Structure 1
């Protein structure tokens, strides 16, 4: 029997995170296929150099202070602290003076040590030797197991353990969501770009197979691998993809819909919904440009932006908050629950998604599966997901979206070649089964090795994280 050890360390340690990758990991883990005679799927985490089987991704209720959660919170605050430091460092007078930057750095190091590093060290000592959380139990790996790196492992520190498992005969499969820090570094924090690049070097040399979340990303991964390790090494690995599911698993029937959202939908005027973290790659500024043109032409269409505030978006958020149409024809909600999001999907006129680049585009399938038509930027992965059931606009011309909005408001007809009523997408159970099936299929198909190996390119042995 083959055992698939499906890794979910980051979500295990951050159970309340609910952005794209965390949503995927949680749903895939919850819907893993039952064991049969050929295969068993086991959710695992790698903590403190050891492997554990996950019994529950959700935190256990306890009346005591959760020191582990506090330790995780301190680490998150430390990351935010240094992100802020880098933002301040780029401003005057620090951007113009090495001495000023040095003084700022020393002050920040002292503050971070006293308020963050020292408490984390104390907690590490307190937690050391304590029993592993009850949500997981130790697991002994076996030769022939397959470690499926499903979670965002570039955040992790378990690489030495993964390498030891590999030496012990465990195969490694990497799930890859996108290559945005490599292909579009301008949209990412500089620290993430470096960490992701180091991680990809490691995964390129360590994994046996790669499963992307779209054919678009699968092909990008193969091209990047060719560039980094050469054709001979690439031909010894396999590449595949699976598609994500569409349910909102945290939509609690007993929770309440946001009151502001309910109030907005009381008006019969059309609502165009954007669901995403607010950050440069998602291109919210394009949305505002397009809708300002529509409003100037007399449109009553409303734009609803739903998503938490992310990074590199201070000017955009200020533009929204100071906008004369705010709470009239422009609305923003930064902390909607899944129940509120379900309500928005079921009452909006259309989804608008002007992202520059995506690995998949989860809001598209979440909306379309609920009967909400979607307008998206004309990029390859959206064509892959939506086909002729979506309408597309030109990212170089906001007027192309303006025209779609005005025409739909005027005619009530969604401008896509095919009717959405005939469109169907995967459930998370089907998506999880598809992931497992694709891995099993590739494991049973031996990879061919070329007769004439090519020399490895320079840089192959870059440092791993």
Structure 2
């Protein structure tokens, strides 16, 4: 999403723009040409763009689904590799000191920050104190760490509280992904004494590749598997799926379908992984994979009997929309965000209803039932439509003649 924003503003947009980057000597402004060189090199380095036949994680997963013994693969990474990538990026962009952000921006400039995590560090936004004419627009994907702090670390809850504090104190406008998230964000801002902020609820588009025809892996034809996609953490409810798979295995034995868990470990993720990998015979039917490229993920979801999304809470739920775009059926938790964005034919089940999830999954294994696919008439936003709506919102913020930020004292609230 952040890469799409950068490409839009620096490559496709005719508007005058510059990039603001934190450096050792403060937040500095950099020109369009340097940003474009950096983006090009970044995309060359990014494993998200690998073809599925170049993706080692995908190759290992295919072998495991076919019943071959393959050691569990962990995504490669080291400090040296990171340093080499950063050096490569610097060579592509060239070294520059950048310009003073306070002096470089024209009066009334709109500052768009969609990184969210950076908002947790007030030091990175302190330059705005010297430029009260600047109109910041911040994105908050959700306020889940404040709504349900039991699903995140204490550090994450504290950081998220800081993000909302900075939004309440500094923002001229807010971008969210759903009306569900909008209501939660506005409630949190209100608790901090913030005035009503212009807010754009704009659903995220699926990757362009997911709007193309599905392409299931021929080598996996006839292999029954389901996919759950997202960070491996308590909020995503993997533990319930593990219990469902144990029951399926007691009923079906060797005919138990496979469950592919696609995602990186989040808070308490290693504990969840350990449970899945140390559950006896059923563990042979559960496969954890991290670091899949976008083409490989599309191929994986294309061939699945269904995508499973049992989360306790979401601000959006992109995999639900990605799967529906490919015609892959979806079984999702019955929560407001999923109801808002999902395909009308989605099967909704309460996230704590294990027997209900088992029943929904067994439906896809019924040999007498016709293959279940969703209509691909389901049409999520395109990036073109997304940025057209965003442009209108930015223009609204530019025309807003209300007094600019008075930098009020914000009530501190920690989840």
TM-score of the aligned structures, taking structure 1 as reference length = 0.66
Shift of 1:436: 2.5
Partner SS state of residue 228, structure 2: strand
Q: Structure 1, residues 58-84: CA drift from partner, whole Å, max 9, x if none?
A: 4749xxxxxxxxxxxxxxxxxxxxxxx
Pair 1:425-2:346 in alignment = no
Partner SS state of residue 326, structure 2: coil
Pair 1:434-2:398 in alignment = no
CA RMSD of aligned residues (A): 3.6
Partner SS state of residue 55, structure 1: helix
Distance 1:293 1:440, change over 3 A: farther
Shift of 1:462: 4.3
Shift of 1:414: 7.6
Aligned partners of 1:356 and 1:377 also within 8 Å: yes
Pair 1:369-2:319 in alignment = no
Pair 1:244-2:204 in alignment = yes
Partner SS state of residue 267, structure 2: coil
Distance 1:294 1:395, change over 3 A: same
Aligned partners of 2:192 and 2:413 also within 8 Å: no
TM-score of the aligned structures, taking structure 2 as reference length = 0.73
Partner SS state of residue 320, structure 1: helix
Shift of 1:25: 0.9
Distance 1:402 1:322, change over 3 A: same
Pair 1:396-2:340 in alignment = no
Distance 1:442 1:163 in 2: 19
Partner SS state of residue 304, structure 1: strand
- The aligned runs of 1:203-282 (5 Å cut-off) are 203-229=167-193, 233-234=195-196, 237-247=197-207, 266=220, 268-282=222-236
Shift of 1:221: 1.3
Q: Which residue, out of 23, 27, 40, partners 2:4?
A: 27
Distance 1:379 1:57 in 2: 40
Shift of 1:155: 4.7
Aligned partners of 1:177 and 1:359 also within 8 Å: yes
Once structures 1 and 2 are overlaid, which stretch shifts more, 207-216 or 304-313?
Answer: 304-313
Aligned partners of 2:178 and 2:203 also within 8 Å: yes
Q: Which residue, out of 119, 129, 138, partners 1:154?
A: 119
- Total equivalences in the alignment: 348
Distance 1:135 1:323 in 2: 52
Aligned partners of 2:209 and 2:295 also within 8 Å: no
Distance 2:322 2:376 in 1: 14
Distance 1:55 1:34, change over 3 A: closer
- The aligned runs of 1:87-166 (5 Å cut-off) are 134=94, 138=99, 140-152=104-116, 153-156=118-121, 157-165=123-131
Distance 1:164 1:339, change over 3 A: same
Partner of 1:451: none
Distance 1:409 1:217 in 2: 35
Pair 1:294-2:248 in alignment = yes
Distance 2:365 2:341 in 1: 25
Distance 1:293 1:432 in 2: 46
Q: Which residue, out of 30, 35, 52, partners 1:52?
A: 30
The runs of 5 or more residues in structure 1 that have no matched partner are 1-23, 62-115, 117-122, 251-256, 449-455
Aligned partners of 2:237 and 2:311 also within 8 Å: yes
Distance 1:200 1:173 in 2: 13
Shift of 1:44: 3.9
Q: Structure 1, residues 413-435: CA drift from partner, whole Å, max 9, x if none?
A: 5889xx43221112333323332
Shift of 1:51: 2.4
Q: Structure 1, residues 119-150: CA drift from partner, whole Å, max 9, x if none?
A: xxxx9xxx9xx999538754720112110111
- The aligned runs of 1:279-428 (5 Å cut-off) are 279-298=233-252, 300-325=256-281, 328-410=284-366, 411-412=368-369, 419-428=374-383
Distance 1:345 1:463 in 2: 40
Partner SS state of residue 357, structure 1: coil
Shift of 1:387: 4.8
Partner of 2:134: 170
Distance 1:325 1:43, change over 3 A: farther
Distance 2:334 2:163 in 1: 30
Partner SS state of residue 49, structure 1: strand
Distance 1:437 1:325, change over 3 A: farther
Q: Structure 1, residues 391-432: CA drift from partner, whole Å, max 9, x if none?
A: 11111211111111111211545889xx43221112333323
The runs of 5 or more residues in structure 2 that have no matched partner are 43-78
Distance 1:329 1:56, change over 3 A: same
Partner SS state of residue 409, structure 1: coil
